[in-house]
Chain A
């Protein structure tokens, strides 16, 4: 009985993975295998990085019961700031990164302050932010494309890890996965909690290890693991940890689940909500740096519509717009699904307008599946 229960709860995650596999198989067939070629996987993983970074922060925002429509503009603006500092003012890479992230944090804090302390709905504040940030970017760049960046800056979005390091990281990941699966089982046994069967727990560990190993193998056949993918994975890991294992993470879920009850339990919802927006600002800035580095330029249109892709990724990943429910892993998978569709369809030379239509339909379908699975 108990096993059935815990299996049921994971159905959602499995659906996402199956959907992803289905998408991969379909595109692989339609492109004669080009879609799963090493080169394209490298491309795909670079393409999903930026949306993935935004989706990580957006997950927290939506779990807390808010929304952020400004992330695309914020990403564009911070990316522009990075380009301006380096190209026009000749700053070296490290200070550019630090100042850009600080700028993102400050702008996020500014929006968070309106939402948390002034009670203006996040939808409005960030809709405003979306226009304001884009306007500032237009103003400070004068509408020009700002290029080129230094070599050291381009490493962030364009370089690849040496094979050795790639495989070393895989080894570390595999060891960590199995040890934590083992530890988790021991703990649950000790605390007398419901246990999955051995096969399920270690099966999941083995499957994810294999998947990572295979991915790194494929990427290494091309040029290695792209640096931006590594950045995304590290950021995601940190935020997964925060969301599960810190009081801050718990507070966010409680506020989104029932802000009144959270408040009366002594949780400072204002400060926590502002913190979420600050983190989002920081992540948008990292995304901006990665994008500017990849394009080797700051452009006025950078990041346009990214907020919608990020929100779609989060929602496809199972986060509820009502707040209180959602996981970062789901959002990353959601981002991967969105990026795969973009990438696969452009490989098939499908006109861009179809990409929009298909992504829109998938979004609706995903939420419908989620809702109907909950009804049972």
Chain B
């Protein structure tokens, strides 16, 4: 009997039918991937399953081992053995690993928390998932990858039989992904069922036993991984063939737009150097890739160039021949910079505001005169960028909170395109974005470079970095450890420079 069966699930939000008669069946002990474009309804389906949307707010049946379930809240689904790990990690940063693993599940003796027991058990779970650290460490001292693993330990400690992972590897570096995959395989051997949501189809092909594809809220197909190829999944997802994922063109104009010399930045509060001795040049129409491992200081470089930190700079920067000194984002925007951050929810969007207000946020001067807003112009401009970016939204007055991840990212991109930058810094621009939308973003990059905009693209996805960059800088430990031309660059040469920095230091 199937461990999980979801039958004829329909879920409506005001203005959107997120799920339409979806059927989803999972066998015990398999790794079952759920694929689909942004907004296809993957997260919504999993929220229905885990009780985030309680029984009665959707139509259809959920059967676990043949028994019908009616979850009123998340706790109910956990009792039935379903645990969900959200894309945004849900750990309390200021608590220890053990406290997080047993949050609301603490081992108790006569109502009092048994700390020894808790740390002991937590350590056992950590060993199980291959994390060899002490469970009394604070979460905030761990990297994102390790935190992801702690989430898994937390799920296991709840005796989960079905673990749902919503884009677990979106924020992980290559090495960490490997570890995660090993753990998933281990889980499969232990008979635990995993539902795996990811836009990284290579991983999906590698680890899953079965794949279910959703499109526009409908279940399109469930296939055995052996009888399907990556391209089949893509065409099931988008409903058409997709060719040439990386539509690279060389648009370089031999004219320097930016020059950075001996640039270092010292944080005011921490008195810490977040970037040191950076040198590079950027030409109009060029795509400059920046590679490196997590924590190599790529985001810090971008943030400090853009004025996102308070502190002091050393060295010199010129944009279009003019000296540029870092004062703050406002001045950076004026100088022609734009920065699409890697964390759109934290740094990119005001989630409670609607699509229009988010789109115009960095360019209010274009839609106002004497600081009086012209709402009509605001809407016309937003509409313009929305159709260019093909943002899927019920209306322009919809809060971005309710958009799917990929569409949120497109809103952030619209915002920065509207500001009319000369240099666009993209930090992990396709994180959590489906293949179709990815390709659209790559095409957009080409359109921009054709207009002479220079692009700095930070990416942890090597295929993307290799596929789209004219030139690649590799960083490690807050420095640039090497520069590769498009011809020289490949997986090995980048990884060598990315780790080489560390070896040299030691």
A residues apposed to B, CB below 8 Å: 1-2, 4-5, 8, 187, 190-191, 193-194, 244-248, 250-251, 253-254, 257-258, 260-268, 324-325
Contact = CB atoms under 8 A, between A and B. Distances in A.
A247 B371 contact: yes
A261 B349 contact: yes
Contacts of B394: 5
Given A5-B14, A245-B372, A248-B371, A263 B396 contact: no
Contacts, number: 98
A247 B346 CA distance: 22
A254 B350 contact: yes
A45 B329 CA distance: 46
B371 A253 contact: no
A30 B368 CA distance: 52
Interface in B302-348: 306, 308, 328-330, 332-334, 339, 341, 346-348
B364 A250 contact: yes
Contacts of B353: 253-254, 257, 324
Contacts of A1: 14-15
A20 B183 CA distance: 59
Contacts of A260: 346-347
Interface stretch (B19-27, B60-68, B119-127, B373-381): B373-381
A190 B377 CA distance: 12
Contacts of B347: 260-261, 264
A217 to B, nearest CB: 34
Given A194-B395, A261-B350, A266 B329 contact: yes
Contact of A187 (B328, B373, B376): B376
Contact of B350 (A194, A246, A262, A266): A262
Query: Looking at A2, A4, A260, A325, which has the most chain B CB atoms within 10 Å of its CB?
Result: A260
B328 A268 contact: yes
14 contacts: A2-B15, A187-B376, A193-B396, A194-B397, A246-B371, A247-B368, A250-B357, A253-B353, A262-B350, A264-B308, A264-B341, A266-B334, A267-B361, A324-B353
Contact of B306 (A194, A264, A268): A264
A319 to B, nearest CB: 12
B336 to A, nearest CB: 12
> Which of B332, B341, B371 is packed against the most chain A CB atoms within 10 Å?
B371
A272 to B, nearest CB: 12
Interface of B: 14-15, 306, 308, 328-330, 332-334, 339, 341, 346-353, 357, 361-362, 364-365, 368, 371-373, 375-376, 379-380, 383, 394-397, 415, 419
Contacts of B375: 187, 245
Nearest to B349: A261
A246 B373 contact: yes
B14 A258 contact: no
A268 B364 CA distance: 13
A247 B364 CA distance: 7
Contacts of B333: 266
Which 9 residue pairs spanning A and B have beta carbons closest together? A257-B350, A266-B330, A265-B362, A258-B350, A266-B333, A265-B361, A247-B371, A247-B364, A266-B329
Contact of B329 (A2, A244, A245, A264): A264
Contacts of B383: 191
A262 B361 contact: yes
Given A193-B395, A193-B396, A263 B329 contact: yes
B42 to A, nearest CB: 23
A346 B419 CA distance: 57
A246 B364 CA distance: 9
A366 to B, nearest CB: 20
Contacts of A251: 364
A348 to B, nearest CB: 41
Contacts of A254: 350, 353, 357, 361
B376 A191 contact: yes
Contact of B330 (A5, A248, A257, A268): A268
A259 to B, nearest CB: 9
A262 B415 CA distance: 12
Nearest to B382: A191
Contacts of B397: 193-194
Contacts of B396: 193
A140 to B, nearest CB: 38
A329 to B, nearest CB: 18
Contacts of A265: 329, 361-362, 415
Contacts of A253: 350, 353, 357
Given A191-B379, A246-B371, A250-B373, A258 B351 contact: yes
A270 to B, nearest CB: 10
B391 to A, nearest CB: 15
A331 to B, nearest CB: 18
Contacts of B379: 191, 193
A265 B334 CA distance: 11
A324 B341 CA distance: 21
A245 B373 contact: yes
Contacts of A266: 328-330, 332-334, 362, 419
A4 B357 CA distance: 22
Nearest to A241: B372
